[in-house]
Amino acid sequence: MSEQGSREQGLVIVGAQWGDEGKGKLVDLYAEQADVVVRYQGGTNAGHTLVVHGVKTVLHLIPSGILHPGKRCVIGNGCVVDPVALVAEMDELVAAGVDVSPARLCISHAAPAILDVHKRLDRAREGAAGDARIGTTGRGIGPAYEDAVSRHGVRLGDLADPQRLRQRVEGLLFEKNALLAAYGQAPVTAADILDPLEAVRDRIVPYLADAGAELAARRKAGERLLFEGAQGALLDVWHGTYPFVTSSSTVAANAAVGSGLGPQAIGRVLGVTKAYATRVGSGPFPTELDDAVGARIREVGREFGATTGRPRRCGWLDLPALRYAARINGLTSLALMKLDVLQGFETLKVCTEYTWRGRTYEEMPTEPAAWSELVPVYAELPGFDADLRAARRPDDLPATARAFVDRIAAWTGLPIELVSVGPGRDENVVP
Ligand code: IMP
């Protein structure tokens, strides 16, 4: 391995399921060996939970590297930023004694802004959709990305220029009010959108930067970049279980696009998966357990949304979905999270393939008609009944837990570089 490679210049950490895999914990852990942590997509729909020295912190937009003093954190152009929510998150961190000054954090001028009207529209649409609702987080993510792509959007950089900001906002009103009216909602005025932005403008402007240029310069100087994915592969707008997806591309290639760098910036891609599967919101979930086993996983794994508090749907680990995630992300290794949650089951199931209309699938098919009809084929493995939380080396694990990990590595063809056995930063088994 070259000197540059061994310094791991560009590690991307991505969710390999439907989000909530434990990326926050992992990014916090790997941030130790990075110089810069970059968020490149998503917004405050994310909820990255970190437990450091027994204290729990939930981050929605600020990169999980912020808890490591001295690490640079960057919110890239691919993120949608709610300026009001961002300031609230900054204030919470400051109250907890974390340095969130512009010396630690910068935000791309080009990041699309989430405006109050985007949140209103997100909720109005979901409210009107009935059974067809996506189950969004209601944070305005979809409408903000729509405006970015339709070229009507406001960008964070516009906050620095009040006149331009006003023009951009006024340019939005015609279509937004037509849409709100269609949903039976009251119209918004420019002031409704501008007032909250103006209230936080002076807090945000000092953080604005050409994030891509800064990252390129740091990369050239040999600094190590860690890209923090949000949501998961199956929620990707192009590759996920559309339309039950988020509105950004969650796969590793977007780490480059969403931070203003070329693909060479990506060295290695670590996929994060739980030892079982969860999904929050609507949409296909082939291994879902609508029974006592699912309820037990939810209870023991505390599977309730970090952003919305919603109970997560739970099921067995789904290898065809994981193999698909490995392909669309170019995963080079896996981290297996929350193995401790499976303690006490006599047998554990893992879906190894699906059948659909007489065919067998080792990878999740992309035909939309298949998703709700896939029949999972399960392998049964012996469970384990020991408390795993003190385990740090593979030998500390019961033989059946070790065998479970080894089988997942064999079934996916990917090395497992870390097994998480508890929420704490140090509760991991590393080979
Ligand atoms: P949106 O991203 O708020 O538009 O929601 C679209 C879909 O993505 C819904 O099913 C959400 O529950 C899901 N989603 C969005 N962010 C997350 C996340 O961070 N974890 C898990 N699911 C998420």
Which pLDDT tens digit goes with each residue over 268-291?
999 999 999 999 999 999 999 999
Nearest to 416 by CA among 400, 428, 424, 427: 428
**What is the DSSP pairing of strand 313-318 with strand 347-356?**
parallel
**Is residue 395 annotated as part of the catalytic site, yes or no?**
no
At 184 the pLDDT is: 96
Instruction: Compute CA 189 distance to the chain's CA centroid, rounded to the nearest angstrom.
Output: 33
* CB-based pocket (< 6 A), ligand 1: 19-20, 45-47, 134-137, 139, 141-142, 230-231, 235, 244, 246-247, 280-281
At 8 the pLDDT is: 65
Q: Hey, what are 91's tokens? A: 């204030």
Pick the CATH number of 7-109+208-268 from 3.40.440.10, 3.40.50.1820, 3.60.10.10, 3.20.20.70: 3.40.440.10
Ligand 1 atom with the smallest distance to the CA of 310 is: 12
Three-state secondary-structure class, residue 106: strand
| Distance from the alpha carbon of residue 245 to the mean position of ligand 1, in angstroms | 7
**What is the DSSP pairing of strand 347-356 with strand 48-52?**
unpaired
Which pLDDT tens digit goes with each residue over 295-317?
999 999 999 988 888 999 999 99
Tell whether the model's pLDDT for residue 359 goes beyond 70.
yes
**Once rounded to an integer, what is the mean pLDDT over residues 402-418?**
98
Domain boundaries of the chain, sorted by first residue: 7-109+208-268, 116-204, 274-328+339-387+394-412
| DSSP character string of 365-412 | ---HHHHTT-EEEEEEEE---S--TT--SGGGS-HHHHHHHHHHHHHH
| Distance from the alpha carbon of residue 417 to the mean position of ligand 1, in angstroms | 27
Nearest to 149 by CA among 282, 230, 238: 238
Tell whether the model's pLDDT for residue 149 goes beyond 50.
yes
At 201 the pLDDT is: 98
CA distances 367 to 19, 363, 414, Å, are 22, 12, 26
Three-state secondary-structure class, residue 197: helix
Give me the chain's average pLDDT, please.
95
Classify domain 116-204 at the CATH superfamily level: Adenylosuccinate Synthetase, subunit A, domain 2 (1.10.300.10)
Which pLDDT tens digit goes with each residue over 52-87?
888 888 899 999 999 999 999 999 999 999 999 999
Please tell me the least confidently modeled range out of 47-56, 73-82, 83-92, 379-388: 47-56
Which pLDDT tens digit goes with each residue over 93-107?
999 999 999 999 999
| Distance from the alpha carbon of residue 389 to the mean position of ligand 1, in angstroms | 29
Tell whether the model's pLDDT for residue 1 goes beyond 70.
no
CA distance 142 to 131: 18
Classify domain 274-328+339-387+394-412 at the CATH superfamily level: Adenylosuccinate Synthetase, subunit A, domain 3 (3.90.170.10)
Tell whether the model's pLDDT for residue 186 goes beyond 80.
yes
User: Residues in the chain, how many?
Assistant: 431
Q: Hey, what are 58's tokens? A: 């939930």
pTM score of the predicted model: 0.96
